[in-house]
Amino acid sequence: MRVGLVGQMKILWICGSQIVGGAERATIQVLALLRERLHPVGVLLPATSPVNGAVEGMAWAVHTARLGGSRDLLSIAAITRAVRAFGPQVVLVTTPNEWLWSCVVPRRLLGARLILARHMTLRLPTRVRRLANLRADAVIAVSESVRANLLGRPGIREDLIRVIRNPVRFKVQDEIPRCQARASIRRSMGLPEPGRWIGFFGGNDPQKGIGDLMTAARWIRSQGLHLNLLVCGRPHREQGRTVAEWAADAGLGPCTHYLAHVEDMERALRAVDVVVIATHSSLGEGLPLTALEAMACGTPVIGYGVGGIREAIGAHEEGGLLAKPDDPADLARVLQRVFSERELGARVARRALEWARAQFDPARAVDEYERLFLSLTGS
C-alpha cells in the first residue's frame, strides 16, 4: 500500500447517476486507489442508484439523498448536509445537475475545494458553464476531446481545466490470447466455438451503434464468413427494439448471443476476436472505457473515428483501427480487413497492449488526481 504524497485528504464524491456506466466505474477505480493511499473517501448518491452497491467496501461514509434534476432545489440541502457530516477537504462532482447545485452552495457552507469532472463531449447548459467558471477550483476533462468541448463558447476558463485520462481497470496483459484460449473462454461461457466473434457492449441502445453493427455484420456474413456476435449491456426499454429484434430484422438471430449485463468484463472481452465501438457522434463519447479495457486484454478494437473514441484508439491507430464516423459500410470494410488479412488482428492487439500501458496506466492517473487535490488544498 502506498501512502499519499503528503498526509491525508478527505474526499467527498457527489454523483447523481442512476446507472453504473463507464464514468462511474472509472471514478470508483480512482477513488479506491486514493483510499489505498490512506485518503478517506465519502460519497453522496441518490438513494435508489445502483452506484450504492458498486461503492461497497470503497467508501468510508455513504450518504444518500433525493438528488433530483436540474430544478430540484432540495439537492442544495442534501449536499450541504453531506459536507457537514463528512467534513471533506475536496468535493469531486461528476454529474451535470450536481455540478449546478454544488456550485450554488455558498463557499462558507461547502468549506472545501470544489472539483468538477466531465466524461462526455455533449455541450453543457450555458448556466452550468458560467457557474463552473465562477465557483469551481478545477475542472477535470477525461480527454482532449472533452477539454475542447468545455472551452467552446461560452467556455470554461482554460486555466481551470486539467486533462486526466481515465485508466484501465485490468492489468495490461503481457501477451495477446491465443485462439485456443479464446475458444476455451467461450466454452466456459456456454457459447458455441466455431466461427469468428465480434464483441459489442452497448446493449440495444441505437446511439451506441447496435444498428450499425448489425448492418456491418450482415454484409460480412453475405461474403461467406462464419460470424457470431456477442452482445452485452443492460437492456434499455425506452430505446425500443430489443437485441433479439435488432438481430431478427438483420437476419442474424441464430448467430447473435445476448448476455445482457456481465460481471466479468475481462473474460467477455478476451472471448471475442474483435471488439466494436460504434457509438454515434451525437452521443458525445468522452473516452470509452470498453475500448481501453479491450486493449488491455489483448483484443483488437475497431471504433468510429470521432471524439473520445479516436483519442482512445489514437489518431494514428496506435491502439486499434478506425472507421469513418457513423458509417456502417466503412465499419464493415475494416472488420473484413481484420478477418481476411492474416495476422492483422494480432499486430493490432500487440500494438494496443503497448498503447494501453503508455497512456492509461492506473498508477499514473491516480498520481495526477492526488497531485491536483494536494495542490488545491495545500496539504
The answer to whether the CB of 145 falls within 8 A of the CB of 166 is: no
Task: Tell me the C-alpha distance between 147 and 161, whole Å.
Answer: 7
Helix axes 328-340, 344-359, angle to 10 degrees: 110
Task: Tell me the C-alpha distance between 173 and 170, whole Å.
Answer: 8
Task: Tell me the C-alpha distance between 57 and 36, whole Å.
Answer: 12
Task: Tell me the C-alpha distance between 65 and 54, whole Å.
Answer: 17
Identify the structural domains of the chain with CATH numbers, from first to last: 11-167+361-377 (3.40.50.2000), 179-359 (3.40.50.2000)
pLDDT digits (tens, 9 = 90+) for 68-78: 666 778 889 99
Task: Tell me the C-alpha distance between 86 and 152, whole Å.
Answer: 35
pLDDT digits (tens, 9 = 90+) for 66-104: 886 667 788 899 999 999 999 999 999 999 999 999 999
Q: Which cell numbers in the block locate residue 340?
A: 481476411
Q: Which cell numbers in the block locate residue 211?
A: 444498428
pLDDT > 70 in the chain, percent: 96
**pLDDT score, position 239:** 62
pLDDT digits (tens, 9 = 90+) for 241-278: 899 999 999 999 999 999 988 889 999 999 999 999 99
> pTM, whole model, 2 decimals?
0.85
The answer to whether the CB of 234 falls within 8 A of the CB of 203 is: yes
| Residues 6+ positions from 334 with CB-CB distance below 8 Å | 302, 321, 322, 323
Task: Give the single-character DSSP code of 314.
Answer: -
Instruction: Give 71 or 42, the one with higher predicted confidence.
Output: 42
Task: Give the single-character DSSP code of 252.
Answer: -
HSE of 138 in the Cβ direction (CA atoms, 13 Å)?
Answer: 21
Region 41-64 average pLDDT: 91
HSE of 51 in the Cβ direction (CA atoms, 13 Å)?
Answer: 31
Mean pLDDT taken over the chain: 91
Task: Tell me the C-alpha distance between 316 and 214, whole Å.
Answer: 27
